[in-house]
Amino acid sequence: MKRIARLSMQALAYFVFAAPIAYFASMPSYRYAEPDRTSIKLSIVHTTERVEPCVPLTQEQIAELAANMRRAESCERERLPLYVELDVDGRTVIKSTSLPSGLWRDGHASVYQRFDVPGGRHSIAVRIRDSARSAGWDYEQSTTADLQAGRYFTVTFRSETGEFVFR
């Protein structure tokens, strides 16, 4: 009898150990996103212009350089920040300034942001400034798209062609 009681208590102890594991391994469920909304991702990775423009080297200056270091122009490494704005239905949703990566600020500048909008037809406009100009934009583009609820809509930029991609 004692043995049965002991085994029963052991079984109960194992149950108490396993039950929370079974439950919390997948429950309670978590609602990550509303099913009637579209998630827009803006992702831009772009190399901006240099802070100081490159200076052409004279033939004498080139000749003074070591043979393996000879180049046509001399360039400072640091690049400008990247300004990005994105509008949805005429309202600015993202306004971002990104510094170039790297210790010398000579790498890519990048923006990644995600936000939700109700599914349906929306006008989307995006623009970036990668130069030293104080006003206006170097690249801009807009589109009107039917955004399907429960799906992602991505806005990216192809630096090589200067085009935005809405997908």
| Contacting positions for other proteins (CB under 8 A) | 10, 14-15, 17-18, 20-22, 24-27, 29-35, 37-39, 41, 43, 45, 101-102, 107-108, 110, 112, 114, 150-152, 154, 156, 167
CA 139 to chain centroid: 18
- 67 by DSSP, 3-state: which? helix
The minimum distance between CB 72 and other proteins, in angstroms, equals 27
Q: Of 28 and 136, which CB lies nearer to other proteins in the complex structure?
A: 28
| Residue 117, CA distances (Å) to 72, 84, 121 in order | 50, 19, 10
> Closest distance between other proteins and the C-beta of residue 38, in Å?
8
Q: Could you tell me the smallest distance in angstroms from the CB atom of residue 134 to other proteins?
A: 27
- Judged by beta carbon, residue 5 or residue 72, the one nearer other proteins is 5
User: Minimum CB separation from other proteins for residue 136, in Å?
Assistant: 26
Please identify which residue in the block is written with the tokens 């194992």: 14
Name the residue nearer to other proteins (CB basis): 7 or 55.
7
Strands 55-56 and 37-46: unpaired
Query: Beta-strand (E) ranges in 66-138?
Result: 73-74, 82-88, 91-98, 109-118, 120-129
Between residues 18 and 63, which has the closer beta carbon with respect to other proteins? 18
Give the end-to-end CA distance of the chain in Å, rounded to a whole number: 70
